[in-house]
Structure 1
Amino acid sequence: MINEELINKSVDYIIQHFDEGISVKEVTDHFHFSKFYFCRVFKEVTGESIYAFMKRLKMDLSAVDIKLEKHKTITDIGLNYGYSPSNYSSAFRKHHHVSPVEFRKSTNCTIMLNPFYPNNFAKFDTFDNYG
């Protein structure tokens, strides 16, 4: 039986391999679980589907890139996360309630949704405080 510790390990594995375009099948194969069983237990433990988690992680990581990688175009950032240019802006707006361009132009933020706990916010210092 899969327990919370194994789900946490699977989340760690997803995060470690996320930039490789990891799939749910690769995760289930790595941990030797059936895809159906893993997906059901993941939702029971985390409260969201594995697909929703990976999509949310993709959107949250892309938002960080928009803020930190100002030399990259928003289109390129969307492409890096597997979105077509037309779909990325719509998906970003749906998730963050603001367009990627508006998000980039906004003032440096000190709070954002925690990608691992969707009902919690992560707080951090402004960029000026790190200097």
Structure 2
Amino acid sequence: MSDVPNDLKYSKTHEWVKDNGDGTLTVGITDHAQEALGDIVFVEAPEVGRKVGAGEATAVVESVKAASDIYSPLAGEIVEANAILTDTPDAINTSPYEDGWIFRFAPSDMSALDALLNAAAYEQVVEEED
């Protein structure tokens, strides 16, 4: 089983979400997702200031196998894109929950975070796919 930290929330589309405690959230893709994609070679991060809807394709991750959309788990405004990924997109492969985050945003409604999956529920989603 892939690494699924208990302190994060998850989407059924394999994004993880971290509450930064300052009114912003950090988003990346799960260890399971990066394993499925293989070696990541390019990341198209969203523009700062962009307003996104819940479930909206917000970024693109390209691997040697495929390109995949990354969806915003909640509605909000992008406040930061991970600049490290411009030169080192494979940080997602080596550290999906630390250096490999993709974007940070300020959600329109922080309480919507409660609707996302906890680690156990996300593990169930992964098991059903396999």
Please state which band the TM-score falls in when normalised by the shorter chain: under 0.3
> Comparing both structures, which one devotes a greater share of its residues to helix?
1
Structure with higher Rg: it is 1
Higher relative contact order, chain-length normalized (CA < 8 Å, sep 6+): 2
Scaled by the length of structure 2, the TM-score of the pair is 0.23
> Comparing both structures, which one devotes a greater share of its residues to strand?
2
